[in-house]
Structure 1
């Protein structure tokens, strides 16, 4: 089916460009369209297709004919090579993965690609391999990502780096002596700083200053706390294989294919694995701040929503899961401490919700599967939502908010929340959100916050908010990779392995609209 669909697109384009006498169908049409291309150029095209790994694709996906067919059946070799090229070019232009359930952050704009024009170029170019080369670098950042992919493939071909097999839970402290883990760490960090394997200390079991410097450089590269203390998070990052890095880069390339141009309007984008929020206008970054996102077991969902209002001094209606899993153990240990933090306990009695005095409840009688109470936290300094809540209506009850836990923003890995987005500098975002909203200035904001009363206001201009998952970015030509904290890159890589449906586009007219046949 894949070959037939690919051939149908190629044939449709051929019909549009060949004289009437040559408007054949099927393999005959493919041969006629490329009969002016020299056999040597077809051979170079096949060689280029055999190198699709440099573009993050697998040549085995495209049934590239072997060189022996060129000698035994030149016409068939020509047709099958062009058929494989057309299928590969569609993946290079539109992305191999059309969509994944739950990934509303994935964006494709097939109309902007003009697939039929590319098919025509491939069919008529004297060097069709050049057309594949142009398609391969069309997405944003493609050259930088391809160069990084080539670097990691070279490392893989050389055997990659060694794995840490020692204790990966206990923290290795600066100055410590460890005859098992220090040599392993030294061998691994030699890929960051080869000097650690030179000199008198190269075989030392002491976690010395030179090795600490290499560890800090690695931590900084990975977006971790660069303190030289090697704990479980750093051990995990050290043990990420070269093959995992290659997989991330292949995903990064594919995710960018067929992507729409950046919107011109003011918008917010939160990159989950990079723990960053950007307020953008076109390509210009207006605000940039750290965020805290959902834990691995309470993941922040991908969303395309709009911020519509702001709430000051919010109360927190504790979600049932948080109440059962987080607050119940605290209530069992010290109910008075929970109460002093502003938490109130409620229960439904004869259809009415009434407040319950925590001191009258035997919390040891309850567990996470049996807890008949509702919990709300009053507004105040210790409220989990801080002083400001940014409302963006959605079915997952996700919002952005302030937090009293400011110390967590110093951490490199910031997946600590139950799904909502905690903001490093909420007052800066508030200033942007209220821009143009009549009657609201900093003086009034300060008055409302000081009152400690809960109040809300709609904002004059709602702001698009996109929560997306992009582990690999390019800044200033430098590729920056972060951990696949939710495993979504791994899911995407598996989707790439599955044969995708072809996008069928009409060959007539200008911009084309692709349709995924799934």
Structure 2
């Protein structure tokens, strides 16, 4: 993958009138250089271009990044106004086509194919167009779903300008149950959800402290729209989503637009894509969705990493060697509470003594002597129905020891937000994925897999065709023309928005290749 990014200085374009345009060291265009700029666009068209650049916020960009000249410069120095407007347009057009943000550490899921963008041709059109603002318009609408995302961005910006949505104060760690009275939180909840049902805040209803049926209906609609469990119970997760600042949602839309710029063509091969913040797995054949299932992903403090890997094998009836962190932080408290129950659940305690690994009877250990910083044992769980990995593990070699697996905790799939694991991906319907994964593997079919699982012995199967797996982080998607947003659970959209603020090393356009090559210092 090759990344090439936006610029702020003028592009060196050896075509049309820009062939004679040279910038002084200051980066500003003087009168002499301005005279060399072609007059393809009328003064009115240049004014329209400047006005369009001043509205780059509607495309998720910040006009301040491009030093768009003030309108009063046109009267004081028309040539300079023209040159600086065109220079700002070139920089903005580059970011609109290639994306504003550069590579971000750990974000191997981000994809751009800037080599496929004919940047030189776009720049030539911008230079020669009688109405260059229309070139900016077309570039801004290129990303997939751009119009739907921009419409939602405009809606939220207008809402923010009107004051945004109210923040709910008080006890947002406790759960508000339907049918209860709460003079502090219920009126605030009514005000927050008034956009769903204006009647919640009309007349005497505004200060009604009863969590009644009408408010319950609005809460359920809100929870469903946000991907939460629509049970009407307003607990910490729902409170957190309700109190997400509108500015954060605006930034998520800006990020969604930029992530889609210079997006490569979708692969045609069979593949698995796991969208972390949406908690969904899709098995795809080209654009066709073969399977769609819920998944459980890593908690905020144990995030699932973004990966591009391949599913190569399956392990049936796996045992589980608990990672050190899991043993210290998760299993030690359970051993301390009831070591006999842990052994009954198949957990085995081991210790290295004189170079040998020996099993230790957990019921004879005084666990009060140990804590998360001192626990000289390691833990393995036997294969079985209560094993943390369930009945099967899908192996995809990587340096983070991440895999997909079954789970005995089936009840968690009914939750809306499903960030519960220590980083691995738990599958809602592993048997369905298994059937697809084993397709074409000689000697293996669903019947044999069922027999192996019933036999309880740990067995492996290498897939005849490995399957590409992409773990990606996309909070904002468009389904049927509707924008669907999910919580930025790991803060990666916030990181991306900061990368957009920083920008990226500039690139110089090549007339021969039509692409951006070589770095220019900022």
> Given the two structures, how large is their TM-score scaled by the length of structure 2?
0.95
| Structure-2 separation of matches of 1:503 and 1:431 | 47
Q: Identify which of 505, 511, 518 aligns with 1:501.
A: 505
Residue 345 of structure 2 corresponds to residue 325 of structure 1 = no
> Which is helix-richer, 1 or 2?
1
Q: 1:289 and 1:304, CA in 2 relative to 1: closer, same or farther beyond 3 A?
A: same
Moved over 4 A (4+): 4-8, 27-31, 513-518
- Partner residue in 1 for 2:457: 453
Q: Identify which of 143, 151, 158 aligns with 1:154.
A: 158
Residue 521 of structure 2 corresponds to residue 492 of structure 1 = no
1:26-425 mapped onto 2 (5 Å cutoff) = 26=23, 27=29, 32-198=36-202, 201-425=205-429
Instruction: State the 1:258 CA deviation.
Output: 1.2
* SS of residue paired to 1:344: strand
* SS of residue paired to 2:508: coil
| Structure-2 separation of matches of 1:509 and 1:479 | 36
Residue 20 of structure 2 corresponds to residue 16 of structure 1 = no
* SS of residue paired to 1:34: coil
Moved more, 157-166 or 418-427: 157-166
Q: 1:116 and 1:467, CA in 2 relative to 1: closer, same or farther beyond 3 A?
A: same
Cα-to-partner distance string for 1:336-365 (whole Å, 9 max, x where unaligned) = 011001011111122121111112221111
CA contact (8 A) 1:30 1:82 kept: no
CA contact (8 A) 1:316 1:383 kept: yes
Structure 2: which 5+ residue stretches go unaligned? 1-5, 24-28
Q: 1:471 and 1:109, CA in 2 relative to 1: closer, same or farther beyond 3 A?
A: same
Cα-to-partner distance string for 1:241-294 (whole Å, 9 max, x where unaligned) = 221111111111111111111111111110000000011111111110000000
* SS of residue paired to 2:342: helix
CA contact (8 A) 1:501 1:517 kept: yes
CA contact (8 A) 2:405 2:427 kept: yes
Cα-to-partner distance string for 1:304-335 (whole Å, 9 max, x where unaligned) = 11111111001101000000001111111110
| Structure-1 separation of matches of 2:254 and 2:410 | 36
- Partner residue in 1 for 2:3: none
Instruction: State the 1:236 CA deviation.
Output: 0.8
Instruction: State the 1:503 CA deviation.
Output: 2.7
| Structure-1 separation of matches of 2:257 and 2:10 | 27
Q: Identify which of 442, 458, 476 aligns with 2:446.
A: 442
* SS of residue paired to 1:178: coil
CA contact (8 A) 1:90 1:503 kept: no
| Structure-2 separation of matches of 1:466 and 1:112 | 22
Instruction: State the 1:500 CA deviation.
Output: 2.4
| Structure-2 separation of matches of 1:514 and 1:188 | 49
Residue 481 of structure 2 corresponds to residue 477 of structure 1 = yes
* SS of residue paired to 1:67: coil
- Partner residue in 1 for 2:26: none
Q: 1:326 and 1:358, CA in 2 relative to 1: closer, same or farther beyond 3 A?
A: same
CA contact (8 A) 1:33 1:124 kept: no
| Structure-2 separation of matches of 1:431 and 1:272 | 23
* SS of residue paired to 2:499: helix
Moved more, 171-180 or 199-208: 199-208
CA contact (8 A) 2:8 2:66 kept: no
CA contact (8 A) 1:344 1:376 kept: yes
Instruction: State the 1:7 CA deviation.
Output: 4.5
Cα-to-partner distance string for 1:8-61 (whole Å, 9 max, x where unaligned) = 52x32xx23459xx7454456775453121011000000000000100111111
| Structure-1 separation of matches of 2:428 and 2:35 | 61
CA contact (8 A) 1:292 1:417 kept: yes
| Structure-1 separation of matches of 2:21 and 2:205 | 73
Cα-to-partner distance string for 1:166-196 (whole Å, 9 max, x where unaligned) = 2101111001001111110001110222121
| Structure-2 separation of matches of 1:337 and 1:123 | 75
Moved more, 250-259 or 392-401: 250-259
Q: How many residues get paired?
A: 509
CA contact (8 A) 1:503 1:517 kept: yes
